[in-house]
Amino acid sequence: MAAVISANKTELLAIADSVAKEKSIDPAIVIHALEDALQRSAKARYGQENDIRAKIDPKTGEARLWRVLEVVEEPENLFTQIALHDAQVRDKTAKLGDFIVDPLPMIDASRIAAQAGKQTILQQVRDAERERQYNEYKDRVGEIIIGIVKRVEFGHIVVDLGRAEGIIRRDQQIPREVPRVGERIRSYVRDVRREARGSQIFLSRAAPEFMMKLFAQEVPEIYDGVISIQACARDPGSRAKIGVISRDSSIDPVGACVGMKGSRVQAVVQELAGEKIDIIPWSPDVATFVVNALQPAQVAKVILDEEENRIEVVVPDDQLSLAIGRRGQNVRLASQLTGRQIDIMTETDASERNQRLFVERSEMFQTELDVDETLAQLLVAEGFTELEEVAYIETDELAAIEGFDDDLAAELQNRAAEALERREAAARAERQALGVSDDLAAIEGLTEPMLVALGKAGVRTLDDLGDLAADDLISRENKAKGIPDGLLRGFGLTQEDANRIIMAARAHWFAGEDA
């Protein structure tokens, strides 16, 4: 028996040492897993009801088993408790609350790995390995790391990082790039997190940050902070745009990134499987940056819509296809780079639209203000688009228009005010016909035209409006996500206005509560 025990001691220490080295974890963790497995095996032999403990000496490999019994007055569980008088037979000093230890014969430890205990050991070792990987790589998020392609599973690339494995998911790979098993691969550490299954280290070759880090490696000025990459947009494997700025006026940021005979940018292009890269000077002026971002297309005019966070770009007729790019790639990347929606139209389209709007606004002023065509067109030419602009502008500013005087300005303002009152009355009648309640109409900030728009959408009471969210009132249409325009999108409401209106509609819900 002594030979068997000795062999088991050697085997236990050998298992702990080899597993710890292979998985790069603390041998104490493996010893603890072996103790747990030995304890489970002992319970299977002596009975699951017993409180059995196991201990392995990490230096000698000697394993011990014992059963623990709690000393009580009247035992309720004979497997884990012992009466006080019985305990004192074994140990005269025993008292209530003490524990009596019964040594147990050692089982054949060599059977542990072959029985259920093996799964316990493997699971604890896997858990320890994952924890070690997490602690080692959690602070490396945002770095570029080099590994070796180990295998490809369901389109995902598993990368051997030496002491861990990372994964490049299909959507984070460069399209049409097919790394071979055993090939060295460079990637960006996107995320490191604890996962019950699979890899903890998530890598990417498609992230814009990967390109930015590559440029930092190739361009010393970026690494030193003299040149900064302010924005980056990628269509992985096809084309990319980066916006750069220099903190030193004597250094050209674009030239520094391109390098002598294009050496620096070509090094990045080769790493990204031939992805074409447009290096653009970044500018704090949005209009200037948009013009740069749409290169190589020429831009004739840029119109900013701050409220809608959109940009309207007018290009010469022969530049339209170049500005849009193949399958919309150029304008899409420019939009990602600037963070704004970009609408492109030709000079011909812009001219036709402006002419149409000029005619529509002129006819509106003719009808509403009861003026002739020449005067209506003059107002439009001066930049007036709505009756409110005429009604509420300072009289002096209106009179300052060439050909106008104080009397004409005052008369136009009076007519504009009367026209707005007529509109308001017509909208009120329509609102009442739609059944929109007067309580809803009493909310500050809601005009009669707004109430008509709500009524047509089925919002007729305070509860109807209170059930909505601010985005339901002012959201922008997104066909890709199936989101329609908000009910009051065209009335110039801000997020704050929409929230205030919604809360005013809900106020009666809390009327009985303390402030």
* Burial classification of residue 199, based on how many CB atoms lie within 10 Å of its CB (0-12 exposed, 13-18 middle, 19 or more buried): buried
Reduced to 3 states, what is the DSSP secondary structure of residue 204? strand
The contacts of residue 173 (CB under 8 Å, 6+ apart) are 157, 205, 206, 236
Domains 207-282 and 291-385 share a fold: yes
Query: What is the chain's Cα-based Rg?
Result: 38
CATH number for the domain running over 207-282: 3.30.300.20
CA 370 – CA 416 distance, rounded (Å): 10
**291-385: CATH superfamily:** K homology (KH) domain (3.30.300.20)
* C-alpha dihedral, 462 to 463 to 469 to 471, nearest 10°: -50
Domain range summary for the chain, segments of one domain joined by +: 2-122, 144-205, 207-282, 291-385, 435-510
CATH number assigned to the domain covering 2-122: 3.30.1480.10
| pLDDT at site 143 | 92
Helix/strand/coil for 197: coil
Write out the two tokens for 107.
């089982």
At 11 the pLDDT is: 67
Q: Report the C-alpha gap between 15 and 10 in whole angstroms.
A: 9
Q: Among the CATH numbers 2.40.50.140, 3.40.50.360, 1.10.3720.10, 1.20.140.90, which is that of 144-205?
A: 2.40.50.140
Tokens matching residue 427 = 């909208």
Six-digit token string for 200: 């903890």
Residue 107 in contact with residue 41, Cβ under 8 Å? Answer: yes
Domain 435-510 has CATH 1.10.150.20: yes
Q: Which residue has the tokens 């008088």?
A: 85
Per-residue model confidence (pLDDT) at position 122? 66
pLDDT of residue 147: 93
Crossing angle of helices 347-369 and 406-434, in 10° steps, is 90
Whole-angstrom distance, CA of residue 119 vs CA of residue 115: 8
> What pLDDT is attached to residue 1?
30
Per-residue pLDDT of the chain (515 residues; tens, 9 = 90+): 333 333 356 666 776 777 677 666 677 777 777 777 778 777 877 778 888 888 888 777 777 888 888 888 888 887 788 888 877 777 778 888 888 787 887 766 545 444 444 566 667 677 777 777 788 888 889 999 999 999 998 889 999 988 788 999 999 999 988 888 999 999 999 998 887 665 688 999 999 999 999 999 999 999 999 999 999 999 998 999 999 999 988 999 999 999 898 999 999 999 998 999 999 999 999 999 999 999 889 999 998 887 777 899 999 999 999 999 988 999 999 999 998 889 999 999 999 998 999 999 999 989 988 888 889 899 888 888 888 888 888 888 888 888 888 888 888 989 999 998 998 899 889 989 989 898 888 999 888 888 998 999 898 999 999 898 888 888 876 655 566 778 888 787 888 888 999 999 998 888 755 54
Three-state secondary structure of 222-269: HHHCCEEEEEEEEECCCEEEEEEEECCCCCCHHHHHHCHHHHHHHHHH
* 0.75 exceeded by pTM: no
Q: For residue 27, say if its preceding peptide bond is cis, omega within 30 degrees of 0.
A: no
Q: Which residue has the tokens 């060439």?
A: 402
Q: What pLDDT, on a 0 to 100 scale, did the predictor assign at position 514?
A: 52
* Three-state SS sequence of 6-24: HHHHHHHHHHHHHHHHHHC
User: Which of these, 144, 184, 190, lies nearest to 171 by C-alpha position?
Assistant: 190
What is the number of residues in the chain? 515
